[in-house]
Structures are given as structure tokens and as C-alpha cells.
A and B are shown apart, each in its own frame.
Chain A
């Protein structure tokens, strides 16, 4: 699945993204399952709030972490997220 760069990215209402104190990491929760996230994955998903397209999200993260060249990594992760149903595009 590929990301449409013109449409905003939204975290799925059928999943829950949550910080877990006990594990010191973010997790995605869904019916009878969970996925533990590393820090960069969690940072990307937190910005999928329906207000940003992929290029906007990349630019916000590059600014936040004062770096460049994140497009490929972020796109690859979001394709996985889309395939798993963690995010939607409408």
C-alpha cells in the first residue's frame, strides 16, 4: 500500500495509542492484541491526527529533531502502519 501525499493521515479510531509507564514505551492496542513501539515510530504516529499530509509530517519532524532526509524512513514506516490498519487516509 502506498501513501497518498495529498491526503491527511489519521490514526485509526479502532486502535488506541498509549504511553505505558511499566514498559517505558508507547504501545498500540487493538482487539486482543498490542504492538510495542520504538520512540521514532511513536513520534510519527502521534502526528497522524488528521491535520497533516505526509510532506507536512516529514517537515514537522525534521524541524522538531533539527535534521533532514527523513522522508524515506517515515514513508516506509507509514506504509507498514497503513497496511496494519493503524492509520487511515480519507
Chain B
């Protein structure tokens, strides 16, 4: 049985609120659950305010408003205002779709600290294809407006096989738009990205070339733009320290009020993730089965259990272990010490074979309610 008797539980620092699963975009690497259509309920404004208050009380400080597309919630300015009064640093993670200059001003007055706008590619054609929605020009307009109204502007581009060749143009676009931060997020293969992995996973050569270009750019813009580079863990030989450790730092609340130690934890079996409608945030964080499940290291199997690096990465990502080996207790197979490390190379080889097929034979599964009902 997993779980921990460790009484030294740190308070949450990061609260992520997924206000809604509704989204006008259809990105095929979306991190929302494949079966999100099963969860149409959303917390009320009052419930969200209570969540923000209770989490702040136990130490949460950074707050991410995300979704789906958080702008589809009409009460967003009210929630932002509440967050500001509580002393949160509020981040809005948006596609930009539905954003107007009026709303940017309204959110600023409500106390929003920063806006992160995602762009799917450096060209209209590819952006609109990946997003499943004509949105490229509007996103660029929104990026300009974010700057104009004094927010730090963070541009986020998810990198995968369809756009990785555009790395030089993506970097030039970020510079031209005056981004203060650029998040280059190599796709993490969960949710929709897992389902589309054969079409999204780049080859090692593609990845190395793109990384080299990004590194050179980092030096070029030093002091002007900060680059957050999310590594593609399939090409690493040690796993990521996922969520900075289970139940140590990060608390995510799904649209229907389910509290998650990471945004993919909903897919793990037997966690019984608690709902904010039935328990306080403090009880959820300190007492619930789900948040204690992988705290500490007593749950570990070999080779993690006796590994001298176990405090460094905590055995990697539980969701990735589950998705790739069927056993959430196993070593994240990204680790070269994992007996099942071979599944990573198989995934890379399979994706490379699919690269030879035409899109008609194996189309991308876009993230929308119709497709979600098939899972």
C-alpha cells in the first residue's frame, strides 16, 4: 500500500485552477483528460472564491488560471479581483481567443499580474491547423495588447514534430512581439498528446537541432528575454522531478472541483481524488489519500528504492510510469536504470515509422467534445 507516514508535509505554493474544460481551440496535445466530456460540471463563482481563500490560508502564493480556455468564464475578473485581495500572484494561461483590449484593461484593474499567450506555430497556416481554429493573427494582436498594458508578456509555444522545424522563425517571432519570457515547451506525452504521440514525437536529430538553435538564441537575448525550456524527457536518461515531488508544492483543482496532485492524476487508478465540495483544502492537502499516496519514498519499488538519486527525481513521473508500463509504482521508464526503459525507444521508433505515412492514413485526433466522447 502506498502512502506516507511522513509528518513533514510542506505547504502548497502553487495553485492551478482549471476553471473550465470548454475551449474554442482543439490542440491535439492538450493536457486535459481524453474523456473530459464526462465532466461537464463546473464550480460556481462562490466555490472558486472559497477554494482560493482556503488555499491561500495554507500558503499557496502563485496562482494559475487555466482550463480549457479560462476566458470562457464570465466571472474571471471577479475571481482575479478576489485573488488579488488575498495576495496571490495571478497568472492567466490563455490561448488569447476571446480576448479584447477592454478585457485586458478590466483584468489589469482587477489585479491580474501576468498573461501567458500560447501560439502554435510561426505561420498562420500551421498555427490554425494545430489549433483547429483560425486564431493566428488575433493571438499576435493580443500579445501586443498585453505588452501595451504593462503586463509581463509570456509567449508559450508547444514544440512537436509538426512545428519543430520552425524553431528559428518561432524565436524571431517572440523577439519581434517583445516577449519578456518565452516558454518553449517540448510536448509532454499525457492526455491528448499521448493519444497522438506517433504524429507528434520528433526524432532525436530534430530535437537536438532545435535545442541547439534555442540555446544560441538564449545567449542572444540574455538580459532582454528569459527562456523557459521544458525538456523532452523521452530524450533524457533521467526522469524529471515531476511536480517538484508529489504533494510537496503543487495543487490543481479541476473544473468540477476534483483536487489533483498533478493535472494528469485523474487518470491514475484507485487514488480517490477528493472534491472541494466535500472537503476543505487543508484536509485535502494534509489528510487525503490521494495527496499522501506518493509522498516520501516508501512506495518505491526497485531500482528506485535503493537508488542514490531517488531524492533527486523521486522516481520520475507516476502518470508516465502508469501510461507506459501499466503500473504507477514503477520507475518512470524514461530512466535508463528502469528495466522497462526499452519502451521509450520503441515509442521513438514507432513514431518514426508513422512519420512515413500520409496524414490520411493516421490523422491527428483533435481535442474536442465529439472526439472526447469516444474515450
Contacts and interface: CB of A to CB of B under 8 A. Distances in A.
Contacts of A1: 223
Contacts of B322: none
Given A1-B223, A31-B114, A31-B154, A22 B89 contact: no
A36 B89 CA distance: 14
A42 to B, nearest CB: 16
Interface string A48-79: 00000000000000000000000000000000
Contacts of A27: 61
B276 to A, nearest CB: 20
B3 interface: no
Contact of B152 (A20, A23, A31): A31
Nearest to B93: A32
Contacts of A85: 223, 226
A16 B61 contact: no
Nearest to B58: A22
Contacts of B91: 31-32
Given A22-B11, A30-B152, A31-B154, A16 B113 contact: yes
Of the candidates B58, B62, B154, B180, the one having the most CB atoms from chain A within 10 angstroms of its own CB is B62
B326 interface: no
Interface string A28-48: 011111100000000000000
A13 B150 contact: yes
A23 B64 CA distance: 20
Interface in B4-18: 11, 13
Contacts of A33: 62
B87 interface: yes
Nearest to B59: A22
Nearest to B154: A31
Nearest to A19: B87
Interface string B138-160: 00000000000010101000000
Contact of A32 (B11, B58, B59, B154): B154
Interface residues of A, number: 17
A5 interface: no
B89 A16 contact: yes
Contacts of A34: 13, 61-62, 89
B89 A14 contact: no
A32 B115 CA distance: 10
B252 interface: no
A32 B223 contact: no
Contacts of B114: 30-31
B217 interface: no
Contacts of A13: 150
Nearest to B180: A14
A7 interface: no
B228 interface: yes
Contacts of B11: 22
A18 interface: yes
B61 A20 contact: yes
A23 B10 CA distance: 11
A85 B226 CA distance: 10
A32 B87 contact: no
A30 B114 CA distance: 8
A85 B150 CA distance: 15
B127 interface: no
A32 B230 CA distance: 13
B113 A29 contact: yes
B320 interface: no
Give 5 closest A-B pairs by Cβ, nearest first: A29-B89, A14-B152, A22-B59, A31-B114, A31-B154
7 contacts: A1-B223, A13-B150, A16-B113, A22-B58, A29-B113, A31-B154, A33-B62
Given A23-B59, A33-B62, 14 more contacts: A14-B180, A18-B89, A22-B11, A29-B61, A29-B62, A29-B89, A29-B113, A30-B89, A30-B152, A31-B114, A31-B152, A32-B228, A34-B61, A34-B62
Interface of A: 1, 13-14, 16, 18, 20, 22-23, 27, 29-34, 83, 85
